[in-house]
C-alpha cells in the first residue's frame, strides 16, 4: 500500500519536472540548432532546403532532452555544449543523407564514397560540402573508430536496402530486419558522440530503444506509407491485438536491458520513466487500431480506411489519458 503511494507521488512529481525540462530545453536546443545551421550556411556559402533545415532543428530540439540527456542522467549529468553541437552535426548528416537518397542528388557510388571515404571525396554542391564537414568532424571525435565504422556500415546497408520496401514483396522477417537495423543503429550511433564512453549494457539500451522508436514512427506513418506504397510491419498488420503482443515484446526487451545497466536503482527508475514515455506513444497508436478492430478476428484492410482513422492525434484528451496510463504502468522498475 505505502509502496504504491510512494510510487504514485514519485511518478507525478518526476513526470511533471521531466515535462517542464523537455519543453524548456526543446525551445533552447531548437534555437541552438538554427544558429548552428546559419553558421554552416555562412561558412559554406549556400543554403539548406527549408524542409531539411527544419528537420535538423526540430529533430535535435526534441531528441536531445528526451534521449541524450536521459542517457547522460544515468551518469548524473546532462549533455555538454560540445555534445549538443555534435548531435546537431549528426542530424545534419542524417537529414542530408535522406535528401541524397530521396531526391537522387548524387549517385550511389558518390553516396558510398562520401560515407566511407569522405577524406578523399571531391564535394561540389553545398549539401555535399556540409555533409562531408560534419561527417569528418564526428568521425574525428569518436574514440573507438573500428566499432563506429561497423555501426555506420550496418546503418548504411539498412538504409539502402530499405528502398526495396517500395512496392515491396519482401517477407515480414526481412522488413523487421531492416526496421531494427535502421532504427537501432541510427540511435546507437549517438552513443559514440558522448564525452564519456558507454558500457555494453548502455549500448544495448541505445539500440533497443532505437528499434522501438522506428516501429513507433512506422505506426504513426501508416496512412502516409500506404499512399507511398511503402511496406512496413505496422501497415501490413492484420490483427491489432497480435501486434500489441509483438510491440510489448520489444518493451520487455528494453526493460531487461535497463535491468542490466550498471547503475543504482534511483538512476534506473528515472531512466525507466523516460523510456516509458517514449514507447507509450506506440501503445497509443495500437490502442486506436484495437478500437477499429473491436471484437472482429481481424482488422479491416488498412488501405480501405480514411486518413482520419489512421492518424493519431496527441492533442485529444483521450489519447493523453492513455499516454499517462501506459507511462505509469511501464515506468515502474522493480
Considering its fold, how many domains does the chain have in total? 1
State mean pLDDT over 247-265.
Answer: 97
Domain that holds residue 96: 2-331
Three-state SS across 132-184?
HHHHHHHHHHCCCHHHHHHHHHHHHHHHHHHHHHECCCCCHHHHHHHHHHHHH
Q: Give the mean pLDDT of the chain.
A: 96
Tens of pLDDT, residues 23-81: 999 999 999 999 999 999 999 999 999 999 999 999 999 999 999 999 999 999 999 99
Residue linked to cell 556500415? 153
State mean pLDDT over 227-251.
Answer: 97
Which grid coordinates are listed for 317?
A: 484528451
**Per-residue confidence at 176, pLDDT binned at 50, 70, 90?**
very high
pLDDT at 3: 85
The residue among 285, 278, 269 whose CA lies nearest residue 322 is 285
* Predicted TM-score (pTM) of this structure: 0.96
pLDDT at 198: 95
For 25, list phi and psi in degrees, rounded to 5. -70, -35
Tens of pLDDT, residues 79-124: 999 999 999 999 999 999 999 999 999 999 999 999 999 999 999 9
| E-state strands within 1-107 | none
Residue linked to cell 540548432? 33
Burial (CB count <10 Å: 0-12, 13-18, 19+), residue 248: middle
DSSP helix/strand/coil, 230: strand
**Per-residue confidence at 334, pLDDT binned at 50, 70, 90?**
low
Alpha-carbon distance of 241 to 237, in angstroms, equals: 10
- As a whole-number percent, the residues of the chain with pLDDT over 70 amount to 100
170: left (phi over 0), alpha (psi -120 to 50) or beta: beta
Alpha-carbon distance of 176 to 97, in angstroms, equals: 22
CATH code assigned at 70: 1.10.600
Tens of pLDDT, residues 271-324: 999 999 999 999 999 999 999 999 999 999 999 999 999 999 999 999 999 999
pLDDT at 109: 97
Alpha-carbon distance of 261 to 42, in angstroms, equals: 43
State mean pLDDT over 170-174.
Answer: 96
pLDDT at 332: 84
The residue among 11, 3, 76, 32 whose CA lies nearest residue 273 is 11
Amino acid at each position: 500500500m505505502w509502496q504504491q503511494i510512494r510510487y504514485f507521488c514519485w511518478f507525478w512529481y518526476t513526470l511533471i519536472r521531466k515535462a517542464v525540462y523537455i519543453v524548456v530545453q526543446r525551445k533552447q536546443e531548437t534555437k541552438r540548432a538554427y544558429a548552428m545551421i546559419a553558421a554552416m550556411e555562412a561558412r559554406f556559402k549556400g543554403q539548406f532546403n527549408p524542409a531539411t533545415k527544419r528537420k535538423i532543428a526540430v529533430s535535435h530540439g526534441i531528441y536531445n532532452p528526451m534521449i541524450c540527456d536521459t542517457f547522460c542522467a544515468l551518469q548524473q549529468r546532462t549533455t555538454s555544449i560540445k555534445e549538443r553541437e555534435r548531435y546537431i552535426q549528426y542530424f545534419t548528416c542524417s537529414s542530408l543523407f535522406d535528401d541524397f537518397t530521396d531526391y537522387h542528388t548524387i549517385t550511389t557510388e558518390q553516396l558510398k564514397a562520401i560515407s566511407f571515404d569522405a577524406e578523399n571525396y571531391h564535394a561540389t554542391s553545398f549539401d555535399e560540402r556540409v555533409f562531408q564537414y560534419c561527417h569528418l568532424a564526428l568521425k574525428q571525435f569518436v574514440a573507438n573508430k573500428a566499432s563506429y565504422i561497423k555501426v555506420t556500415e550496418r546503418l548504411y546497408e539498412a538504409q539502402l536496402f530499405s528502398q526495396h520496401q517500395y512496392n515491396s514483396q519482401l517477407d515480414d522477417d526481412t522488413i523487421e530486419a531492416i526496421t531494427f537495423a535502421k532504427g537501432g543503429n541510427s540511435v546507437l550511433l549517438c552513443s559514440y558522440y558522448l564525452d564519456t564512453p558507454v558500457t555494453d549494457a548502455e549500448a544495448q539500451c541505445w539500440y533497443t530503444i532505437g528499434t522501438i522508436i522506428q516501429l513507433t514512427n512506422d505506426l504513426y506513418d501508416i496512412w502516409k506509407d500506404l499512399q507511398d506504397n511503402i511496406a512496413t510491419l505496422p501497415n501490413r498488420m492484420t490483427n491489432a491485438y497480435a501486434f500489441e503482443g509483438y510491440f510489448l515484446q520489444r518493451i520487455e526487451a528494453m526493460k531487461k536491458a535497463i535491468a542490466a545497466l550498471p547503475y543504482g536503482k534511483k538512476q534506473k527508475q528515472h531512466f525507466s520513466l523516460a523510456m516509458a514515455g517514449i514507447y507509450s506513444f506506440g501503445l497509443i497508436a495500437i490502442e486506436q487500431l484495437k478500437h477499429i478492430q473491436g471484437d472482429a478476428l481481424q482488422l479491416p484492410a488498412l488501405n480501405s480506411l480514411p486518413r482520419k482513422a489512421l492518424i493519431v492525434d496527441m492533442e485529444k484528451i483521450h489519447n493523453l489519458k492513455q499516454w499517462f496510463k501506459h507511462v505509469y504502468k511501464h515506468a515502474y522498475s522493480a
